[in-house]
Amino acid sequence: VQLQASGGGLVQAGGSLRLSCAGSGLTFSTHTMGWFRQAPGKEREFVAANNWSGRSTRYSDSVKGRFTISRDNAKNTVYLQMNSVTPEDTAVYSCAAKNSPSGILGASAWWYQYRGQGTQVTVSS
C-alpha cells in the first residue's frame, strides 16, 4: 500500500491550499481516509477524516469551518481543501487509511493501518 500526499507549499495567511493524497495497492472505496499534521516540536495531530463514501466526515476543532475533506474513489484520491489558513496551520500534512466498510471515523493515528509520507505546508504571516 502506498499513500502519497502532494499539494503543499508556501501560502500567505488568509489564503487557501488544496492537498491531495493518492492511494495505491488498496481497495480505496472501503477505506476511511484521514489527514494528520505535525508541526516542529509538536505531536502529530488529527485534522480530518471521511468514510468510504465521503458522506460522513469528522474534523478537529482547530480546523472545523475552514478545512474540507473530500474524496474521489474513482481516482483513489482524498483531498483536503484548506481555507483561511493561519501560521498555526504550518506543519507537515500526511494522510492515513484504514479498511472500514462500517464507516468508522478514527481520530487517533494508531487506529489507521497505513500512513503515507507528508507534504509541507508553510503559512506566512
C-alpha cell at 46: 488529527
- pLDDT at position 104 is 94
Provide the 3-class DSSP secondary structure of residue 102.
coil
d(CA 104, CA 93): 21
Q: With a cut of 70, list the residues of the chain below it in pLDDT.
A: none
- pLDDT at position 54 is 94
- pLDDT at position 71 is 98
Contact 35, 45 (CB under 8 A): no
Q: What is the mean pLDDT of the chain?
A: 97
d(CA 18, CA 16): 7
Helix and strand counts by DSSP (H, E) for the chain: 0, 11
